Structure 1
Amino acid sequence: MNYPTWRSVVSGFALSVLSVVILSAAPVSQVSAQEQKASEKQTRKTPALRARVYDQLSRAQTAGDAGNTQEAIAILKEVEDKSSSMNSYELAMLYNFYGFIYYNAEDYDEAIESFEKVVQQQPIPETFEQTTLFSLAQLHLMRGNYAKSIEALERWESLQTGPIPPKNLVIKAQAYYQNKQYKEAEKFITAAIEGHEADGMLPDEGWLILQRAVFYELKQPEKVKDVLIKLLKLYEDPKYWIQLAGMYGELEREEEQYAIMEAAYQQGYVKSASDTFNLAQLYYFHQAPYKCARLMEQALADGTLERNLRNLKFLSQCWTQAKENEKAVPVMQAAADLSDDGDLDAQLGQIYLNLEQWDKAIAATQKALEKGDLSNKGTAHLVLGMAYYNKRQFVDALNELAEAEKDSSSRGMAQQWRKYVQGEKQSYDAIQAELSS
């Protein structure tokens, strides 16, 4: 049975983790000239931002806010031409404005270069340096520079006197995850979530998605399942029902898998072709073939599933298992017409034999032999032998049974039938001889 494996379940969410975490993190911050001039509280002694530099930076800020990127950069270059007379704080503010303008213009590499120049200037206020380092961590993560993202965060932490905020731990976990350092990623994302919960707060959905992806990469399906249960309780998204069912299947807890998928179906969450087919398989293997057939039939009718060989073949199996041979016949015939080998025609022959439709059984089985590539050729000859017998065509029946005896899988039954048919033929011939005399 093709239960969805835990790798197929999580293949989608693992790829989306980066965007989720970046979008949920704080955006790159602009440190305005006015804000820096107004707030000088700091733990290190830094030079002052002089009025003439402040006025020029304010002009650039005004142009940037109005969307005049080139004008803003031109003003900043005028200021930069006088950099030899500027102190560390003024230079840091200059490069901060470069970075912010490039960021808004989506020129992220130039933004990174500018922000790197900000933190190279010393001394500058610690809060200013931390804000810039956090922006660098985000930008490096977005650009795939994972080691540099971690480096920026660790430099931020070296300036922090209180506890590390969860958002920092999450970005650090994301960087380690993208760098395929999954054990390190697990340590930081778990710390972020547990710390947040200890403060009486709910973890962000994106954090749990990241944790789930990390456990997946560490091949810990039990923990993946636990995170999915939490996601389902906190964020009631239909996809979590489907993914949780898949994880129970991976853990070989089929009863829970069946219950979760059935609950998802009752709530209208089973909509895709793959989910529908998986649920049909669950019905089939949990001894509910009629429900399997009804689900498959509806999905084929409304276009959720294609009328291809796999789906028609499975539907016919469901009807057959449900003892609904008359419903199985047209579906199996449609599937057989799409098949290059004769197996389905052979199965159709057996159904017709059970329905005592001897001519159709013979026609279907002969077609199966003509197509070839049968998984059990001897059984096909056995079916022909039994059909011919019931038509009182004893010679043809014995010929087919002789062919069936050549196959080890059907030899025993073919021999029994051959003896029986020989006896019946002798009795029939005797009666016919007596009638004609």
Structure 2
Amino acid sequence: MRNLISAIIVVILAQGSMQVASAQESGAQETKRVPALREQVYSQLARAQELADNGDVAAGLAALKNVESKLSSMNSYERAMLWNFYGYMHYGKDQLDQAINYFAKVVDEDPIPDALKQNTLFSLAQLSLGQGDYTETLAYLDRWQTVVGDDHAQKADVLRAQALYQKGDYQQALAPIKRAIAAAEQNASAGDESWYVLQRAIHYELGETAEVAVILEKMIKHFNKPEYWVQLAGVYGQLGKDKQQLAMLEAAYQQGFLSKGQDLQMLVQSYFFGGIPYQAGKVMEQAIAEGKLEADLRNLKLLAQSWIAARETDRAVAALEQAAALSSDGELDAQRAQVLLNAERYEQAIAAAEAALSKGNLEKPGTMHLVIGMAELEQENYNPALQAFAKAKAFEDARKAAAQWERYATSEKEQAERIKQLQAS
């Protein structure tokens, strides 16, 4: 902004001998005679600027005060330039309210050169936006457009959209920012990244999730930042586009864009619920090993579930053991016992079931007695198996199954004893 205002002053000073300017008002072309900026006034203003540019703003303001003492003899152009320099001086001191007041006095003078009026109105709009005065921003933009005409309205589109967004007029803010972006893309230019950020924010506020996705797709194409890949994946998830979400996360992961734990966790969950548990386990395991995800109860449980679904018994058992060490109940040991039983690792299954019962707080404790009974039965340890089934019958959750297994175990025991007797005779 400071460079812009400096440039305005230099341009206007270069027009010091200008006497006639063309202006547009109310859509009609009208020629206005602008009075001359006399050499005497011009030189005093230039001296004030020189003092300020050399760091002595106080001296510059004093020089302007001297010029102002002759205000009654000055024409509209000279007065406008005086207010312009006051505004510039106060802007340089970060006294923005005073700067705005003086720049407003510039455009109230008439007649003045169109270049001065246009540039000052636009600067006033920018300064008002920076000050959070969005109504004034829009008012100055309207006055600016009256001067320049509709053909140049595009220049103010972004500024107008920003002011409307900050006011909460999201629907009205959408049209100007879309015009700005469309114009840039039509000229084979991406435009400014902040324009897309603004349009995305507007669609978000309007609850237009599908449009947020469209803008993020463009942002990836033009700017390719890691956060845009992750954000688009999240939006796809909100839209129920699970395959697109997984594809986006997978592509981001392969490019090294997923460095945050929460992003990696999103990829793991996408793999898991997408029916690719092995990849879920691999990503989770590596993330924990690299310290990108904590080896906490939640993550270890998800890791174990992934390996169980992928039928990676050893990895599942290891993850369940780690998770169980962090748990206050025996549920994870119970799950480990089931996995080991299914893998026909009977002694380990019995040990895990006993650990689960010892830790307690089980939702279905009878199931663990069933596991012990089945593991013992598979090893033809009939009496321990029957004892375990008898204990299981004491629990409502396992009573029916325990009775069936008990009958089966009794039958197997009797048959084994008959065979043994036949072999002995």
Q: Give the TM-score range, shorter chain.
A: 0.7 to 0.9
Contact persistence 2:370–2:389 (CA under 8 A): no
The DSSP-based 3-state class of the residue aligned with 2:393 is helix
1:62 is aligned, of 50, 59, 79, to 50
- Counterpart Cα distance in 2 of 1:377 and 1:123: 93
How far residue 362 of structure 1 moved from its aligned partner, in angstroms, is 4.5
Matches within 5 A, 1:110-125: 110-125=98-113
Counterpart check, 1:259 vs 2:247 = yes
What SS class does the counterpart of residue 91 from structure 1 fall into?
A: helix
Please give the alpha-carbon distance, in whole angstroms, between the structure 2 residues aligned to 1:148 and 1:375.
65
Bigger mean CA deviation after superposition, 29-38 or 154-163 = 29-38
Residues 253-281 of structure 1, C-alpha deviations (whole Å, 9 max, x = no match): 22222223222222332332222222222
User: How many residues in Structure 1 have an aligned counterpart in Structure 2?
Assistant: 410
Aligned to 2:393: 402
Deviation at 1:191, TM superposition (A): 2.2
Q: Is the Cα contact below 8 Å between 2:369 and 2:389 reproduced in 1?
A: no
Give the SS at the match of 1:209.
helix
Matched, 1:31 2:9: yes
2:117 match: 129
The secondary structure found in structure 2 opposite 1:203 is coil
Aligned partners of 2:6 and 2:369: how far apart in 1? 76
Give distance in 2, aligned partners of 1:113 and 1:338. 66
Matches within 5 A, 1:167-186: 167-186=155-174
The one-letter code matched in structure 2 to 1:31 is I
5+ residue gaps, structure 1, are: 1-21
Q: Give deviations 1:325-356, integer Å, cap 9, x for gaps.
A: 11222222112222334332322232233344
RMSD: 3.4
| Cα distance change of structure 1 residues 81 and 303 upon mapping to structure 2, 3 Å threshold | farther
Which shows bigger deviation, 342-351 or 80-89?
80-89
Matched, 1:333 2:321: yes
TM-score under structure 1 length normalisation: 0.81
Deviations 1:221-251 (A, max 9, x none): 2222222222233333333333333333222
Distance 1:305 1:369 in 2: 30
From the superposition, tell whether residues 329 and 394 of structure 1 become closer, same or farther in structure 2 (CA, over 3 Å): closer
Is residue 2:384 matched to residue 1:393? yes
CA shift at 1:186, angstroms? 0.9
1:269 to 246, 253, 257: 257
Return 83-92 or 55-64, whichever deviates more.
83-92
- Give the 3 Å change call, closer, same or farther, for CA 210–424 of structure 1 in structure 2: same
Quote the residue 1:12 is aligned against.
none
- Based on CA coordinates, which of the two structures has the bigger radius of gyration? 2
- Counterpart position of 1:310: 298
Mapped to 1, the partners of 2:333 and 2:40 lie a distance apart of 91
The two structures have a TM-score, normalised by structure 2, of: 0.83
Q: Percent identity?
A: 42
1:91 matched residue in structure 2: 79
d(CA) in 1 for partners of 2:5 and 2:308? 59
**Larger RCO, structures 1/2 (Cα 8 Å, 6+ apart):** 1
2:140 paired residue number: 152
Alpha-carbon offset, residue 131 of structure 1: 0.9
Q: Is the 8 A contact 1:381 1:403 kept in 2?
A: no
SS across alignment from 2:9: coil
